[in-house]
Structure 1
Amino acid sequence: MKYQSRKKAIVLLADGTIFYGKAVGKEGTAFGEVCFNTGMTGYQEIFTDPSYYGQLMVTTNAHIGNYGTNEDEVESDSIKIAGLIVKNFSYVYSRENAEGSLETFLEKNNLLAISDVDTRALVSYIRENGAMNALISTEIDDIDKLKKDLAAVPDMNGLELASKVSTKEPYFFGNPEAKYKVSALDLGIKKNILRNLAKRDVYVKVFPYDASFEEMSEWNPDGYFLSNGPGDPEPLKQVIDTAKEIIAKDLPLFGICLGHQIIALANGISTFKMHHGHRGINHPVKNLITGKGEITSQNHGFSINREETEENPELEMTHLHLNDDTVMGIKMKNKNCFSVQYHPEAGPGPNDAVYLFDQFIDNMSAAKVSV
């Protein structure tokens, strides 16, 4: 069988460290920032999440591909990760509603993947030394050339990537006869966010990342949404200005992940690149308003400044990560605006955070009544 004679491959980190493996199928070289996800399931959703654009994904689960793929489990129109690094790649899959193998899915999307890597050692190294640029390659005869090529890859810090994954033209999602209308800014929006809004009687118009407030407000929406997405939020100056306009007019506004960071920046709160980020489906978060704990799905490499958040008289910190005390949610005290750093639409089992969509609906409903 072909997986018994696969080509040798490497993971080369920016600091020169090398891990060894074998090609899954496609041969070549892929570059990106190396990161890891601790989820036991959901690999197809991870690979198609636009927030992962430009990243080499290490999966900590030892077996990937064993339950195949299904077209309903994608978060965008294509794979968004730059490359895949796994321990054991399963060419054989078993699941009643699977439509095909992960191998075929990767081939269709022309993605370079390598397996037989000591992912426990690699993840431990990233946790110790931080996320950094890396490459995966089967072209291992000239390591010095690979190192030079890797050195030319731009750092994620300061890198604007929303434009790479955003829609080019506005489009609609949901029922045109729905009770509420929402203008969503696509910074890398996941399909399941749109599904969650639509099933709450919301008709969504999705706009390109650089749409102006005037464009978004033209069809008289009941609320505004800033989506998740990849890269550093600080270069998105126009998006920040758009958020400022929505906030100034006290219109219902909800932000998730990158959208959360944009709302913070619109309020003068700085952001920073995390040591190795949060990526997984069991991150513990405390709701500071209710006192309840939430098990959450997360995917972000940047965070907002906690000290500045606590000192800002316009903001209230609503959610806190229980592992490292980073800010997970904020709301404005005198404006109809709130946001979270995690993904309430991702319910890999726990559905602890879906109430946030209902909160957004309540905010729009209250705003309608007050008009």
Structure 2
Amino acid sequence: MSLKPVWIYVENGLFLEAKGFGASGTRVGEIVFNTSMSGYQEIMSDPSYAGQFVVFTMPEIGIVGTNDADMESAKVHASGMIVRKTNFEASNFRSSSSLPDFLEAHKTLGICDIDTRYLTKMVRDGGPRMMIASTEISSKEELKRLLEEAPRIEEVDYIQQVSTKEPYVHNYGAWDETALSYKEATNYLGKKIIAIDFGVKRNILNELCEVGLEVEVVPSTCKAEELIARYEAGEISGVFLSNGPGDPLILAEPIAQIKALIKAKIPLFGICLGHQLLSIAHGYPTYKLKFGQHGGNHPVKNSATGIVEITAQNHNYNVPDAVCEIATVTHMNLFDKTIEGLEYKETPAFSVQHHPEASPGPHESKYIFQTFAKRL
């Protein structure tokens, strides 16, 4: 595979030419940066990145190739990836495909030979911006016109694109795809939960199984009355609200269903988007951060223990400080003092903004899955 010209236009007027790899075509998305040193395949296949171009601050990307086992979902959901340099040859015994071939197979645009440090500083100082990239269109004015006509990320309900269409059972833990031994390998609790799929990562489901829970994944369109009936019948013990992409404020129907679950006093646990939706459903709308938190090295302080945990992050939106009127802050981000975890006072619900499944990232917050299992 050879590199090809790619032209980029950002809504602040920036026009650049770089090299493209992977798929060809024209893509629109919001540009964000990620500071993780590894895990590019997991990041690209994380449904939470739907509608976004990911700038990697790690300069060399693609060294270890790709493989099916490291996918966080069935496909790549990001609009594209932007790297300083890519590698066409992988050096890892687990690799089954190079990164360029992987992106081409998933119809995803890769961009390289570009100053990723400059782009990162641009997003850091000015916030995430919409951009368009094309291997077909070289005209700045045409790219500008197409970008202005395209919907913005906060106007698109990406949940409809990434959520499962049919319920299914996830019954294996980390590094166990046989679905045979996870019960013996864990302290099996014999409790079943429902995971509402707003764009769930596979490793989150793995970790829920690792602590001994039976996990049934349902579409984001599921109705609260059905879940409440199953809870009252003793069929399920709680509900998990998953991570996912886009602006949570436009998800009116899921918010309405979560309000009903809160009223029914069903045990709830949310991660990332699920954390944000719980806040909104309690009456405390989210706001957009200046440039978001994306990476695997963010310090978060556990308010109960005082321990600082290094965490993985991936979010552009945050819950407001006013939510402390009805909830206790359990975790705080030490970079910007934003809320990272909440325990609600009047309802059996808690949530975290960071990603305790650590894929990619450190493992210091994995205990949160155990906390959920013990409360059911």
Which TM-score band applies after superposition, normalised by the shorter structure?
A: over 0.9
Partner of 2:317: 302
Partner of 2:250: 235
Letter matched to residue 9 of structure 2: L
Partner of 2:157: 160
Q: Are the equivalent residues in 2 in contact too, given 1:170–1:205 (CA < 8 A)?
A: yes
Letter matched to residue 295 of structure 1: I
Question: 1:246-268 deviations in whole A, cap 9, x for unaligned?
Answer: 22222211000000001001111
- Listed as ranges, the matches of 1:119-268 within 5 Å are 119-174=116-171, 179-219=190-230, 220-268=235-283
Distance 1:250 1:150, change over 3 A: same
Q: Tell me how far apart the structure 2 counterparts of residues 68 and 245 of structure 1 sit (CA, whole Å).
A: 45
Q: Are the equivalent residues in 2 in contact too, given 1:207–1:216 (CA < 8 A)?
A: no
Partner of 2:81: 84
Q: Post-superposition shift, 1:347?
A: 4.8
Q: Tell me how far apart the structure 1 counterparts of residues 223 and 348 of structure 2 sit (CA, whole Å).
A: 20
Q: Tell me how far apart the structure 2 counterparts of residues 210 and 23 of structure 1 sit (CA, whole Å).
A: 37
Q: Tell me how far apart the structure 1 counterparts of residues 297 and 154 of structure 2 sit (CA, whole Å).
A: 26
Q: State TM-score, norm by structure 1.
A: 0.93
Q: Post-superposition shift, 1:215?
A: 2.5
- Listed as ranges, the matches of 1:313-332 within 5 Å are 314-332=326-344
- Listed as ranges, the matches of 1:42-121 within 5 Å are 42-121=39-118
Q: Are the equivalent residues in 1 in contact too, given 2:7–2:138 (CA < 8 A)?
A: no
Question: 1:161-210 deviations in whole A, cap 9, x for unaligned?
Answer: 21111011111111798601001111001111111111222111111112
Q: Are the equivalent residues in 1 in contact too, given 2:156–2:246 (CA < 8 A)?
A: yes
Which consecutive unaligned segments of at least 5 residues does structure 1 have?
365-371
Q: Tell me how far apart the structure 1 counterparts of residues 225 and 22 of structure 2 sit (CA, whole Å).
A: 48
Q: State TM-score, norm by structure 2.
A: 0.91
Letter matched to residue 323 of structure 2: T
Letter matched to residue 247 of structure 1: I
Q: Are the equivalent residues in 1 in contact too, given 2:300–2:310 (CA < 8 A)?
A: yes
Greater CA drift, 90-99 or 181-190:
90-99
Letter matched to residue 191 of structure 1: R
Q: Does 1:18 align with 2:15?
A: yes
Q: Tell me how far apart the structure 2 counterparts of residues 115 and 155 of structure 1 sit (CA, whole Å).
A: 24
Question: 1:56-88 deviations in whole A, cap 9, x for unaligned?
Answer: 111111011100112110010000101111110
Identity of aligned pairs, percent? 40
Q: Are the equivalent residues in 2 in contact too, given 1:183–1:217 (CA < 8 A)?
A: no
Letter matched to residue 250 of structure 1: K
Secondary structure at 2:111 match in 1: strand
Q: Post-superposition shift, 1:129?
A: 1.0
Q: Tell me how far apart the structure 1 counterparts of residues 228 and 73 of structure 2 sit (CA, whole Å).
A: 25
Question: 1:103-155 deviations in whole A, cap 9, x for unaligned?
Answer: 22111111111110100011111111110100112234322111000111222
Letter matched to residue 371 of structure 2: Q
Secondary structure at 2:221 match in 1: coil
Letter matched to residue 6 of structure 2: A
Q: Are the equivalent residues in 2 in contact too, given 1:84–1:114 (CA < 8 A)?
A: yes
Secondary structure at 2:93 match in 1: coil
Q: Tell me how far apart the structure 1 counterparts of residues 161 and 22 of structure 2 sit (CA, whole Å).
A: 26
Secondary structure at 1:157 match in 2: helix
Secondary structure at 1:122 match in 2: helix
Q: Are the equivalent residues in 2 in contact too, given 1:31–1:82 (CA < 8 A)?
A: yes
Q: Post-superposition shift, 1:349?
A: 5.2
Q: Post-superposition shift, 1:218?
A: 4.5
Letter matched to residue 309 of structure 1: V
Secondary structure at 2:63 match in 1: coil
Q: Tell me how far apart the structure 1 counterparts of residues 294 and 96 of structure 2 sit (CA, whole Å).
A: 27
Letter matched to residue 153 of structure 2: M
How many residues get paired?
A: 358
Give the one of 34, 43, 57 matched to 2:31. 34
Greater CA drift, 94-103 or 43-52:
94-103
Q: Are the equivalent residues in 1 in contact too, given 2:42–2:360 (CA < 8 A)?
A: no
Q: Are the equivalent residues in 2 in contact too, given 1:75–1:191 (CA < 8 A)?
A: yes
Partner of 2:296: 281
Secondary structure at 2:253 match in 1: helix
Greater CA drift, 72-81 or 346-355:
346-355
Q: Tell me how far apart the structure 2 counterparts of residues 76 and 25 of structure 1 sit (CA, whole Å).
A: 19
Question: 1:278-298 deviations in whole A, cap 9, x for unaligned?
Answer: 100111111112111111111
Q: Tell me how far apart the structure 1 counterparts of residues 314 and 287 of structure 2 sit (CA, whole Å).
A: 15
Q: Tell me how far apart the structure 2 counterparts of residues 328 and 198 of structure 1 sit (CA, whole Å).
A: 23
